[in-house]
Amino acid sequence: MQQNKNYKEPSLFKPENLLREARRQKAIPHGLIPPVCVLDPDGDIVDYLVRTERAALNKYWACYHTKMYEFDCGETKVGIIGNAVGASFAVLLAEQMFVSGCHLLLSITSAGIINPPEDNIRFVLINNALRDEGASYHYLPPEEKAAIQPSLLNRLRLLTDTPGSGVAVGDSWTTDAPYRETSTAIEYAKNKGIAAVEMEASALYAFAKARSKNVVCFAHLTNNMAQEGEDFEKGVENGSIDSLGLIYQTIKTLT
C-alpha cells in the first residue's frame, strides 16, 4: 500500500467536473436524479423492471459508463443502475450519484456464503466489511473499519428484528479478486464469524464514512462459490421480487 495518502486532502479530480463535461459532450440536460438510488451489481433487478415496463431511463444521469433507470417504489421514486460490479466501480458511481441528487444509496449484491445462516435468512444487512480490496484505502486509513453508520443500523433494526423478514445483520468479506477465494482465505473469514463474501461493501462504507453519506449494503446469499451444481439460484425472477421487497421495506424504515 502506498504511503502517499493524505486522507484530509481534497481530490483535484472531482465527480461534478466530470459530469459537467459529460453533460456538455452528450447534450444531457441539467436536473437531479432521485434522492434514493440502488446499485444492482447483478443487473437482474434492472432487467426485471425494464422487461415488465416498470422502469424508464433517467434523462439527467450524466455518467459516461452507465445508464440509470428510475421506477416507483411505493410513493418513492428510485434510481437504479445495473451491473455495477466491484469496489472501485461501485465507488465511482456512488461519488457521481451523491453530487447528482442522491441522498440515500442502497446496494444489493449476490454473495457467497461463508458461515451458513439461520433458516429463512436470505439477506444480510452488512455491518462491518473486511477490507480486502483497494478502493477503500483511498478513503480511510488501514486501521479504520468499513462499517455502516450506527444511526442507519439502529433504525434498520426495525427491519432486521421483524420475525420472518429474511434479513439479519452480519459481517462480510469484500474482495476484488473473486477467483482467489482460496481455502485458507475462506477459513480465515469463517473463523472471524463473517457471513458472506462480496465485492463492493467495504469500499462503499469507506466512501460513506469519509464523505458523510448515507449508504446501506445488503448481501443476497445466493451461492457456495459454485462448489456443487445448481448453485447461484436467487429465487423468483432471479431474486428480483425479493430484492424489490427489501428495497421497499428499507426505504419505508429510513424515510
Given a cut of 80, is residue 162 above it in pLDDT?
yes
More confident residue, 74 or 164: 74
In-domain check, residue 196: yes
How far is the C-alpha of 21 from the C-alpha of 4, rounded, in Å? 29
What's residue 228's pLDDT?
A: 62
Name the β-bridge partners of 113: 196
Banded pLDDT at 214 (limits 50, 70, 90): very high
Given a cut of 80, is residue 191 above it in pLDDT?
yes
- Give the pairing type, strands 76-82 and 104-113: unpaired
In-domain check, residue 123: yes
What's residue 153's pLDDT?
A: 98
Total structural domains in the chain?
1
Mean pLDDT, rounded, for 81-104: 98
What is the distance, to the nearest Å, from the Cα of residue 168 to the centroid of all Cα atoms in its chain? 16
More confident residue, 174 or 225: 174
In-domain check, residue 233: no
- Residue range 33-62, pLDDT digits in tens: 999 999 999 999 999 999 999 999 999 999
- Residue range 60-73, pLDDT digits in tens: 999 999 999 999 99
Place of cell 421514486: 77
Banded pLDDT at 117 (limits 50, 70, 90): confident
What is the rounded average pLDDT for all residues in the chain?
Answer: 93
Given a cut of 80, is residue 232 above it in pLDDT?
no
How far is the C-alpha of 241 from the C-alpha of 238, rounded, in Å? 8
| Nearest in space to 219 (alpha carbons), one of 161, 143, 255, 167 | 167
Banded pLDDT at 236 (limits 50, 70, 90): confident
In-domain check, residue 15: no
More confident residue, 166 or 2: 166
Q: What percent of the chain has pLDDT over 90?
A: 84
Q: Are 222 and 239 in contact (CB under 8 A)?
A: yes
Q: Which residues contact 102 (CB under 8 A, 6 or more apart)?
A: 33, 34, 35, 36, 37, 79
What's residue 225's pLDDT?
A: 57
Given a cut of 60, is residue 227 above it in pLDDT?
no
| Nearest in space to 153 (alpha carbons), one of 218, 198, 109 | 218
Q: Which three cell numbers stand for residue 42?
A: 447483478
Range of the domain at 161: 28-224+238-254
Mean pLDDT, rounded, for 193-222: 97
Mean pLDDT, rounded, for 99-107: 98
What's residue 120's pLDDT?
A: 82
Q: What percent of the chain has pLDDT over 70?
A: 95
Q: Are 94 and 201 in contact (CB under 8 A)?
A: no
In-domain check, residue 1: no
- Residue range 126-153, pLDDT digits in tens: 999 999 999 999 999 999 999 999 999 9
What's residue 235's pLDDT?
A: 74
| Nearest in space to 82 (alpha carbons), one of 63, 103, 99, 104 | 63
Q: Which three cell numbers stand for residue 153?
A: 443500523
| Nearest in space to 220 (alpha carbons), one of 202, 192, 200 | 200
HEC-encoded secondary structure of the chain: CCCCCCCCCCCCCCHHHHHHHHHHHHCCCCCCCCCEEEEECCCHHHHHHHHCCCEEECCCCCCCCCCCEEEEECCEEEEEEECCCCHHHHHHHHHHHHCCCCCEEEEEEEEEECCCCCCCCCEEEEEEEEEECCHHHHCCCCCCCEECCHHHHHHHHHHHCCCCCCEEEEEEEEECCHHHCCHHHHHHHHHCCCCEEECCHHHHHHHHHHHCCEEEEEEEEEECCCCCCCCCCCCHHHHHHHHHHHHHHHHHHHC
Residue 94: give its domain's CATH number.
Answer: 3.40.50.1580
